[in-house]
A and B are shown apart, each in its own frame.
Chain A
């Protein structure tokens, strides 16, 4: 089975986010980057499926050279090879276009990615790739098993779960608890150095949107501790300071 996992290269969840150039550019100074947490779930399940069924697992990222360490991390976790589509990921459509183009040539049985990235949180790429490739695209998938040429999965829906079955090939946007995050071992880390990482060029520059500016949410206020018996003070604060009563 040939599996493609598309990963994002995103700031560590504990990073302090700041913008420069009049709030139009993300300030990367001192920021650590990680594999998108939802993509990490997709990758973990893909490693398990590859181990079960044999075959090959490729990871792909649309990004500039700085994302290669993140691809190497995916190789350390267990992917067999990595592809970097050499471009800044301008918007969801642009990314989907590159993935669809690459995936078409590779004839993958399964294309997994996170339900959304944690930087822009669009949650659109898997849907667009499905559309561009004419394949089913399902998200958010929290359980996935492959039996022969079909897959059974569970999807989270409002207030419950939905159980689905589709034929391969298809695309899935994944989330926990599809698999436990895998932590690379030393051997994996060392072998990641020598696994192939190929760089391919983009096929089109087409985008649907552009970012004008970013805005941070207002700073969080301090926590105030109020004695559990002092309900009056609590009401006063909720009314006068929090202004929610």
Chain B
């Protein structure tokens, strides 16, 4: 099998294209440097190759089963989870005092990228545990932290996020799981059901710790009445059952190695949950952790897209078919398909999206590290820009990698549609990302309805400033001027369209938000074009310093050109729709379909 990601590009993105190495100037990260980061990436690569990649197709074909109320995983999963735990991967970003290593998020995410590209299913388990433990350590009491996090960090216990219910998916406001006080402080009886809970139950761990959203009896309606609880599958200290039943397992379209479960809490009125933080603050706690999780989802999509791109690239370099346009002699040997412009178009499309997305996501993760260590106004600025970029970093790679993995299938032709090659699996695995952690529709609403307008549009202004300074930097390089001119033009267009939409916010909220998803796409393309220009500058510098070779440089520079010629222009059509006064989507009625 070909390589499933480019080591060279990952290093370029981390060390030349993003100022990750400057993080060590902050005392929290002072013990780190390139050498440590290289070792971490190297170790991740070894785990991915030795333990994850070998099970990629097997886990797809032998999906988990529910037997006697317990979900049975592929047998390799147990060892893999231990490896993540004992390797220190689950709590790596946390403090030394907590047993972590104070690793920057951006490095943790880059290592995650390697795992996800190798075998996405396997990476879901530690990712969830880490997120759940993070909620406990940030908002939970010392007792909760001491009781639950050590075994989560070691990979012995699985963490989950238990939010979704049959009547509450995108709209968590409507969730109905109930928490009744027991009389003991912080301890509640939980009753309700949750669906689609990733890793909600399985046999590769000895306990499952659900971070569950529920309403305390008598709590106000709506989002303000939702609280966060730790609900273990087995109760401490003796690990007896806590009345959490696995009602069912769903058969998914992709990443079948990681199960999603339908769970019943308190069917026998004997399920205890422990309140995390204060009552009624559950949703706000969740949302404070969401940036990282959402950037993480963008990264998952990018990683799967990367693996599909690499697989299709390898195929295109080996498959002879057809002859160059104009070559009429059938006696001439066939060309490799990579010689055809249309095949190169499909490869460039994939490369432009996955490498552009990687650049954006690592930039966001770097901002998230800054938020962790900066102070005052600086920190506020980083946070506001990160908040604005998060729906973009989550949704654009997610949506686009459905298309790039489809292009990967297309590069392989008939072979791509068969299970003899991994392209079709990547295509199925990519499809989840526009759905979970908030659908694209919901992120569109979040971006236009909230992020763009709050704080008098501060987030949007910060993005425009960042783009402006990239344009100025790029203008130093003669060969980049062609792109700075184009980007300046689209920057103006972005401002015009945004202003026009925002003006509508008050007078006609329905029209204002009707095309929020299109606006998300519009601003995402602009953001990626900015990221590609950032890469252009970094490429020039890295080339001058002898840090990258000629082929790498030319390959990426041509991809930058591709993005500007083929993708950026799509903003024009979107702008036209976004500023049009016709709304067939509002006009259309259910009965007319």
Interface residues of A (CB under 8 A from B): 12, 14, 18, 27, 29-30, 32, 34, 68-69, 72-73, 76, 181, 183-187, 189-190, 192-193, 222-225, 241
B87 at the A/B interface (Cβ < 8 Å)?
yes
Most chain B CB within 10 A, of A12, A34, A68, A222, is at A222
Most chain B CB within 10 A, of A12, A30, A193, is at A30
Q: Which of B3, B47, B50, B103 contacts A14 (CB 8 A)?
A: B3
B506 at the A/B interface (Cβ < 8 Å)?
no
The reply to whether B7 and A12 form a contact with Cβ atoms under 8 Å apart is yes
The reply to whether A184 and B318 form a contact with Cβ atoms under 8 Å apart is no
By a CB distance below 8 angstroms, the chain B residues around A12 are 7
Q: Which of A30, A69, A184 contacts B43 (CB 8 A)?
A: A184
Known A29-B549, A69-B38, A193-B35; judge A186-B7 contact (CB<8 A).
no
**Per-residue contact bits, chain B 332-356, to A (CB 8 Å; 1 contact, 0 not):** 0100100000000000000000000
Known A30-B8, A30-B549, A223-B318; judge A183-B35 contact (CB<8 A).
no
The reply to whether A183 and B46 form a contact with Cβ atoms under 8 Å apart is yes
The reply to whether A34 and B42 form a contact with Cβ atoms under 8 Å apart is yes
Q: Which of A34, A192, A222 contacts B318 (CB 8 A)?
A: A222
The reply to whether A183 and B43 form a contact with Cβ atoms under 8 Å apart is yes
Known A30-B552, A32-B7, A73-B42; judge A186-B546 contact (CB<8 A).
no
B86 at the A/B interface (Cβ < 8 Å)?
yes
- The residue of chain A having its C-beta at the shortest distance from the C-beta of B92 within the complex is A186
Instruction: Give the CA-CA distance A183 to B7 in the complex, in Å.
Output: 18
New A-B contacts (11) at CB < 8 Å, excluding given A186-B100, A192-B36 = A12-B7, A27-B549, A29-B548, A30-B8, A30-B547, A32-B7, A183-B50, A186-B89, A193-B35, A222-B317, A241-B333
**Per-residue contact bits, chain B 40-51, to A (CB 8 Å; 1 contact, 0 not):** 101100110010
The reply to whether B36 and A193 form a contact with Cβ atoms under 8 Å apart is yes
Known A32-B7, A34-B42, A185-B86; judge A190-B36 contact (CB<8 A).
yes
Most chain A CB within 10 A, of B36, B39, B88, B103, is at B39
The reply to whether B50 and A30 form a contact with Cβ atoms under 8 Å apart is no
Interface residues of B (CB under 8 A from A): 3, 7-8, 11, 31, 34-36, 38-40, 42-43, 46-47, 50, 83, 86-89, 92, 100-101, 103, 317-320, 333, 336, 546-549, 552
By a CB distance below 8 angstroms, the chain A residues around B86 are 185
The reply to whether B35 and A72 form a contact with Cβ atoms under 8 Å apart is yes
The reply to whether A183 and B87 form a contact with Cβ atoms under 8 Å apart is yes
The reply to whether A186 and B38 form a contact with Cβ atoms under 8 Å apart is no
The reply to whether A193 and B31 form a contact with Cβ atoms under 8 Å apart is yes
Instruction: Give the CA-CA distance A183 to B111 in the complex, in Å.
Output: 14
By a CB distance below 8 angstroms, the chain B residues around A241 are 333
Instruction: Give the CA-CA distance A241 to B7 in the complex, in Å.
Output: 36
Instruction: Give the CA-CA distance A181 to B51 in the complex, in Å.
Output: 12
Residue pairs across A and B with Cβ atoms less than 8 A apart, 7 shown, are A14-B3, A18-B549, A68-B35, A69-B38, A181-B50, A189-B40, A223-B319
Q: Which of A14, A181, A193, A222 contacts B46 (CB 8 A)?
A: A181
Instruction: Give the CA-CA distance A163 to B11 in the complex, in Å.
Output: 45
Q: Which of A69, A72, A186, A222 contacts B88 (CB 8 A)?
A: A186
Nearest CB on B from A73, distance (A)? 6
The reply to whether A69 and B548 form a contact with Cβ atoms under 8 Å apart is no
Q: Which of B87, B318, B549 contacts A186 (CB 8 A)?
A: B87
Q: Which of B42, B88, B103, B319 contacts A185 (CB 8 A)?
A: B88
By a CB distance below 8 angstroms, the chain A residues around B50 are 181, 183
By a CB distance below 8 angstroms, the chain A residues around B7 are 12, 14, 32
Nearest CB on A from B447, distance (A)? 35
Most chain A CB within 10 A, of B43, B46, B101, B552, is at B43
